Structure 1
Amino acid sequence: MAPVVKKRNEAEIPQSFWGKEEKVCPNCGKEILAAALRCRYCGARFKSEWPIESHEYETQERLRKKLPAIKRTLIFLFTTSIIVFSAPFGIVASCLWYKKNKKTLALLPSFFKTLIITGIIAGTTQILLVVLLTCIYSLLH
């Protein structure tokens, strides 16, 4: 008995299987192999073999260049939010930064959004616990 083979839908089949062997590089506009992950003319690198438009490529490149600064900012905001004495400032700064960069965060891996939200929640929880414990202490003494 022959094994059951799942049929691929049209979206799963790479462009080179559609009868096209070449695609246009979104960076330089020259024809390259459809399965290429790097342009042999300009050296541009692609995340997958699927063809992308030039505006998508530009967006990916802008994000790639901004990523180190975004990482440093997120680590600073997270650290500031979870340290008790700086938590109020960290929470405010994190909320403002999150609101300003929401669209950018949506394009990045979910870890980055999770990090900033976790910092905000942890900082807020710490502040509420400190206020609660202070109230309890003042009532008992």
Structure 2
Amino acid sequence: MADNIVTCECGVKVRLPDSERNRSFQCPKCKKLIALTTDLKVLFSAPLDVGQTAVCPICQSDIQPNESCVQCPDCDQTHHRECWSEIGGCGTYGCQQAPAPVDSDKTSQVTLTAWGDTKECPACGEVIKSIALKCRYCSTTFDSTDPMSLNDLKNQYDRGERVDSMRNSVIGLFVFSMIGILAPLALLISLIYVLPRRKQLSQSGPIISILAWVSVALNIFYTLLMFLFFILSN
């Protein structure tokens, strides 16, 4: 349903699954935590104004000028965006935006991280929340909430570079396949590139995978047309 769709600050429209309608949700693209109100409206973040000071009522720490923060629409308290999203609402007791109390019978079902409340960013060394997929200090993003070493971070970047390289290659093949007169050559190149990389393509996202197979199909179609035209002309 349309009321389950929110727009992240990065511009991506995200559908909220029923299991995530507790207002603790993360954008699958930019990895930023999305702060939602009780009526599932996105609270867009902004840094503090020059000279402004604030203490997050959730973590009880000072909000730094370069940190993303959100303001409660009901009580006007300023929060860290990550803190708001982590608990699913305002940290002020009695506020209409505060999260509903957790049923004590269900608390044992809540998934907790095995690494504690905080972890160290492998890039800048700052202490960040254990659930963070993006460092609030250096903006480094992580594939997992598990603590990472520098080697783990390097491997993550290497995987990202391979995916980017494959994405660019597939786009190039698709553009090349649009040149009908070169279809036989493009078909050969497409088959040599796509067939051995079927598994990697499936991990690169549906759009890239579809483009790869569409380029193969187009080249087959154009090659058959050229073959039929050659036969008919003779």
TM bucket (normalised to shorter chain) is: 0.5 to 0.7
Match of 2:218 in 1: 122
The gaps in structure 1 that reach 5 residues or longer are none
Q: Cα RMSD over matched residues?
A: 3.8
Alignment partner of 2:166 out of 59, 66, 70? 70
Alignment partner of 1:86 out of 182, 199, 218? 182
Match of 1:51 in 2: 146
Once residues 130 and 41 of structure 1 are traced to their aligned partners in structure 2, the CA distance between those partners, rounded to angstroms, is: 58
Shift, 1:52, TM fit: 6.3
Contact 1:77 1:90 in 2 (8 A): yes
Match of 1:22 in 2: 118
3-state SS in 1 of match to 2:133: coil
TM-score (norm 2): 0.42
Shift, 1:120, TM fit: 0.5
Letter aligned with residue 171 of structure 2: I
Once residues 47 and 115 of structure 1 are traced to their aligned partners in structure 2, the CA distance between those partners, rounded to angstroms, is: 25
Shift, 1:59, TM fit: 4.2
Write the deviation string for residues 43-66 of structure 1: whole angstroms up to 9, x where unpaired: 531256x32666765443113234
Change in 2 beyond 3 A, CA 1:68/1:20: closer
Match of 1:106 in 2: 202
| Structure with higher helix content | 1
Once residues 63 and 72 of structure 1 are traced to their aligned partners in structure 2, the CA distance between those partners, rounded to angstroms, is: 14
Letter aligned with residue 70 of structure 1: M
3-state SS in 2 of match to 1:46: coil
Once residues 34 and 21 of structure 1 are traced to their aligned partners in structure 2, the CA distance between those partners, rounded to angstroms, is: 5
Shift, 1:118, TM fit: 0.6
1:38 matches 2:134: yes
